[in-house]
Amino acid sequence: MKILKWVSGALAGVVAASVLSNVAAAQPAPDALVKSLASEVTTVLKNDPAILSNAAKLRDLIETRLIPNFNFQHMTQLAMGRNWGKASPDQQTALTREFQTLLVRTYSGALANFRNNTIDYRPLRMQTTDTDVTVKTVVNQANGQGIPIDYSMEKVADGSWKAYDVVVAGVSLVTNYREEFNSVVRDQGVDALIKQLQAKNR
């Protein structure tokens, strides 16, 4: 999946930085959240560059900051498309767990480039009653190239915002997997897809 490799590099870790959240009593707007937490993670990486070569610290950063703020079930459902309904509840749980692990590994590999990038934030078009918004950014790389990265975010029951997709230069990171997943399910079934994801995550 060549496009996935390109997306991973272009993200340069900003995915992890952009959707981190410590849920507070008064929730900030999604764009303000993205901006403040991207700044926070940039500071962490600059102050402790060794974290990028320390598997334990990197895993802790991702598990405490990234994982709680993605809706991985929604992401997996998008990636599965019509096949989501063919999976049993147990299979859906297994698929979500393995897809989460796969995405986190992808983000981990992209973090190394994050420190050298800057981010421009586009004005957020949002009504006060909206529960699903897109936060638009442009990541400026060291080579001068700007990569548009849009975050699909939804408001959940506790009032916090969670990301359920990332679109890089018009390419959805989540739905990019759909063709591969559909092919495996069509030819071999849902259990085969779970085993395939487990093998990738070893």
Q: Please state which of the ranges 4-18, 126-140, 185-199 shows the lowest mean pLDDT.
A: 4-18
CATH number of 163's domain:
3.10.450.710
Alpha carbon dihedral 94, 96, 69, 164, in 10-degree steps, equals: -170
Out of 51-60, 86-95, 127-136, 147-156, pick the least confident. 51-60
Q: Are 194 and 94 in contact (CB under 8 A)?
A: yes
Does the predicted model carry a pTM greater than 0.85? no
Residue 1 reports pLDDT greater than 90: no
Q: Mean pLDDT throughout 53-58?
A: 79
Burial code (b: 16+ CB inside 10 Å, e: under 16) for 160-190 equals bbbbbbbbbeeebbbebbbeebbebbeeeeb
- E-state strands within 1-145: 118-121, 132-140
The pLDDT tens digits of the residues spanning 84-124 come to: 999 999 999 999 999 999 888 877 766 666 666 788 999 99
What is the extent of the structural domain holding 117?
2-201
The number of domains in the chain is: 1
| Residue where the block lists tokens 């299979």 | 91
Compute the average pLDDT of residues 116-135. Answer: 89
Quick: pLDDT tens for 144-161: 889 898 999 999 888 888
pLDDT on residue 44: 77
Expressed in percent and rounded to 5, the helix, strand and coil fractions of the chain are 60, 15, 25
